[in-house]
Amino acid sequence: MAFKQLVFSGVQPSGNLHLGNYLGAIKKFVELQSRYDCIYCVVDMHAITVWQDPKELTTAIRDVTAAFIACGIDPKQHIVFNQSQVAEHAELAWVFNCVARLGWLNRMTQFKEKAGKDRENVSVGLYAYPTLMAADILAYRATHVPVGEDQKQHLELSRDIAQKFNNDYAASIAARGFGDAFFPQPEPLIQGPATRVMSLRDGTKKMSKSDASDQSRINLTDDADAIALKVRRAKTDPHPLPSEEKELDARPEADNLVGIYAALKDGTKAEVLKEFGGAQFSTFKNALVDLAVAKLGPIGAEMKRLTQDHAYIDSVLADGSSRAQQLAAETMKAVKDIVGFVRR
Ligand code: ATP
Ligand code: MG
């Protein structure tokens, strides 16, 4: 069965948006708008899988929305909304909790990393996070999902859930006229030189909102001075930049900065090394500061302007939520029929 091509992705309002979110996700969201219908979600229900102060959560929801728009997402042409305004996400997630197997969730590395040693004390929501993510995507029967490399495993789980639902309910799906599959197999879009931006302090750790050290990341709202300071202080090794991309494999910090430069420049790592191979880090870092400030400065400024205007941001979310809900409600009606629930 052929599914209508549709892009879905989400970002958590769980702290300051950073360069990893931009290069790994939001920049891709923007680029996909010319080729697909797109739905971009501020996933506030995911955010509360770890404690969020209510006031800060409200602010962060508006900040992520502002970031989407400041980066170039068009909320009129496409859909921008926050997850908690469309109850179908939670509803479908419950059905998926009953489709997904415990063994599948036990393999999720994000849970292991986020729960750490204190596993008995983290929320049930943190564990069930991937089934809600599957529901986010499949409530729209979306076919393409742009994400950073760290979300690849969750995307695979979404595919497994879609497949098992299609298999378990095959007869009911066919009887309802949906052919041999009700849900598509959503395809991850993970491409380019910055699918996993690393911490500026540790080239083996992902750049993350939840990292305690602000020096580990470049925030989208950092001003030119902050960006310059963080890049100049970024951890590196003592050697000049290599000329061959292969040589980056054993040099995580160099690899990271080269990848960031390439992504900001819409180029490849090979192109960056062609220009900077043999150069000292001090030279390269100066060029990186200039490029980062040129690309991120206008975004940060526009974000600051937009976040002042709560009425506008909230109206974007209200409009997006009502359009999203119309689509998700159709899916949910069909799911209820397929599962055998009685509905009004
Ligand atoms: P948290 O630490 O709270 O999980 P996060 O920084 O991982 O926050 P998310 O909201 O979970 O942000 O992820 C939003 C999008 O950004 C996802 O598509 C994710 O894959 C992508 N992303 C997050 N961190 C990076 C990174 N360091 N490099 C590339 N992409 C990233
Ligand atoms: Mg994350």
The string over 10-44, giving b where at least 16 C-beta atoms fall within 10 Å of a residue's C-beta and e elsewhere, is: bbbbbbbbbbbbbbbbbbbbbebbeebbbbbbbbb
Give CA–CA dist 312/302, Å, rounded. 14
Question: Any catalytic annotation for residue 114?
Answer: yes
Locus of tokens 């739905």: 39
How far, CA to CA in Å, does 167 sit from each of 75, 95, 103? 36, 14, 18
Q: Which of 196-200, 206-210, 270-274 has the lowest mean pLDDT?
A: 206-210
User: Model pTM?
Assistant: 0.97
User: What count of other Cβ atoms lies within 10 Å of the Cβ of residue 342?
Assistant: 6
Q: Is the CB of 196 under 6 A from ligand 1?
A: yes
Burial of 173 (0-12, 13-18, 19+ CB in 10 A): buried
How far, CA to CA in Å, does 96 sit from each of 99, 130, 138? 5, 10, 10
For every residue of 145-163, DSSP letters joined together read EE--GGGHHHHHHHHHHHH
Question: Any catalytic annotation for residue 206?
Answer: yes
Give CA–CA dist 248/21, Å, rounded. 23
Element (H, E) at 173: helix 170-175
Q: Is the CB of 307 under 6 A from ligand 1?
A: no
| C-alpha 12 – ligand 1 centre gap (Å) | 8
pLDDT over 90 (residue 1): no
Q: Is the CB of 206 under 6 A from ligand 1?
A: yes
| C-alpha 73 – ligand 1 centre gap (Å) | 18
Task: Out of 4, 28, 55, 114, pick the active-site residue.
Answer: 114
pLDDT over 80 (residue 288): yes
**Predicted pLDDT at 327:** 98
Task: Out of 27, 206, 269, 295, pick the active-site residue.
Answer: 206
* Ligand 1 pocket test, candidate residues 21, 214, 256, most atoms within 8 A of CB: 21
Q: Is the CB of 207 under 6 A from ligand 1?
A: yes
Give CA–CA dist 301/317, Å, rounded. 21
Give CA–CA dist 302/14, Å, rounded. 20
| C-alpha 280 – ligand 2 centre gap (Å) | 33
Give CA–CA dist 174/166, Å, rounded. 10
| C-alpha 244 – ligand 2 centre gap (Å) | 31
The string over 46-80, giving b where at least 16 C-beta atoms fall within 10 Å of a residue's C-beta and e elsewhere, is: bbbbbebeeeebeebbbbbbbbbbbbebebeebbb
Contact 192, 26 (CB under 8 A): no
List, for residues 209-249, the tens digit of each pLDDT value.
Answer: 988 899 999 999 999 999 999 999 999 999 999 999 999 99
* Ligand 1 pocket test, candidate residues 7, 109, 150, most atoms within 8 A of CB: 150
Q: Is the CB of 152 under 6 A from ligand 1?
A: no
**Predicted pLDDT at 293:** 98
Share of the chain above pLDDT 90, in %: 98
| C-alpha 21 – ligand 2 centre gap (Å) | 9
Give CA–CA dist 103/209, Å, rounded. 28
Q: Which atom of ligand 1 has the smallest separation from the CA of 150?
A: 20
